[in-house]
Amino acid sequence: MGQFYIGVERKARRCYGFDEIALVPGRVTINPEEVDTALEIGKKKYRVPILAAAMDGVVDVKFAIAMGKMGGLAVLNLEGVQTRYENPDDVLDKIAGATPEEATKLVQGLYLEPIKEHLVSKRIEEIKKAGVPAIVSAIPQRAERFGAIAQEAGVDIFIVQSTVTTVKHISKAYKVLDFYKFCKSMKIPVIIGNCVTYEVALELFDTGCGGLLVGIGPGAACTTRGVLGIGVPQVTATIDCAAARDAYYKKKKKYIPIITDGGMATGGDICKAFACGADAVMVGSAFARSTEAPGRGYHWGMATPHANLPRGTRIRVGVSGTLEEILYGPAKVDDGSQNLMGALQTSMGNVGARTVKEMHKTEIIIAPSIQTEGKVFQVAQRVGMGK
């Protein structure tokens, strides 16, 4: 398991991120157009196993509709500007117009506006009216109330998301959410997140959830690792949680998909996440760069507005193309940030995986020089993989 001593009698485990591994091509290759990428949650199948993250710079009602019409899933944050303001566009203009120095303070102030319950229903109904799936997210403390409202409004999937999620949470200050009760009370799949370890994943599977989000702190706009010092690189986190999923399936005969959330900047990273055992991925910054994204070329973490301890920042990602170009191409850039589905299908074809479950069996190698080997001109000229 790569155990090392980092001091007297103190062991530590070596963990890996996407930049340190590569996938080995298969003995048989498959036409990319003939692979099956479908994701199954509850009893429904979704063609695109890539979810747009529940962040205010990524998903609003219009984006969710556009993504849904392309076969993808976009998660609306029920605690962001969409449910605090009748006209969130004015607020988004202010955030995009702020200087880097004032951005976090401004965001903190704007998020002090109370959440309006009628807007929770309204936003879901607006998405559903377009005939696409509605997926929403809330923190555990608001899950019971918002879960009931969302379910009544016709939501398809409800996500309970916090920086670190465990079944056993201790607090005297507020009522702790009982995940077992909550999952049982909801008539729709409940996805829980986020976690990074085998043991916690096993316990969360037992709640009756319909999916699990994997990842603490790897997001482009997240600063959790710098602020709290916690996190596990995504390759190791995904492999460990996938092992828990497989062990749970062996024991209970119930397959619960895991969704790697954050840390994937390119199509290559997404392909590696699937090879590590992900059934789907959740991506923020890649979609924040689309013309349809509400962030106007900016992206900020979900915990950026935290009143006392912001764990996110506003970053400029720019606008690189339409949502269709980012998801399906044709790609206009050569850095792997567009045509994500094409990249996944081509990679699956090259490793000889007909399905996502077959992709899980791909041979993985540790290759820290994979990004730089032979790329001296790209690095010197800041093009391609050297940007």
Structure tokens belonging to residue 350: 């090259």
Whose tokens are 């899980």? That residue is 360
With b for 16 or more beta-carbon neighbours within 10 A and e for fewer, the 262-277 pattern comes to: bbbbbbbbbbbbbbbb
Active-site pick, 222, 241, 271, 276: 222
Using CB atoms within 10 Å of the CB of residue 301, give its burial: 0 to 12 exposed, 13 to 18 middle, 19+ buried. buried
Structure tokens belonging to residue 203: 């316990």
Active site residue 225: no
CA distance 304 to 108: 7
Residue 236 identity: T
Residues 6+ apart with CB under 8 A from 42: 157, 188, 189, 210
Structure tokens belonging to residue 88: 């969130």
Query: Residues 221, 55: contact at Cβ < 8 Å?
Result: yes
Nearest Cα neighbor of 58 from 125, 135, 121, 120 is 135
Structure tokens belonging to residue 93: 């203009």
CA distance 57 to 298: 6
Residue 191's φ and ψ, nearest 5 degrees, are -100, 135
Query: Residues 306, 105: contact at Cβ < 8 Å?
Result: no
Peptide bond preceding 114 in cis form (omega within 30 of 0): no
Nearest Cα neighbor of 296 from 31, 96, 46 is 96
Structure tokens belonging to residue 89: 């566009």
Q: CA-based Rg of the chain, rounded to a whole angstrom?
A: 20
Active site residue 382: no
Pairing relation of β-strands 39-41 and 44-46? antiparallel
Residue spans of alpha helices (H) in 100-211 = 100-110, 117-129, 140-153, 179-185, 198-205
Q: Which residues are catalytic?
A: 222, 316
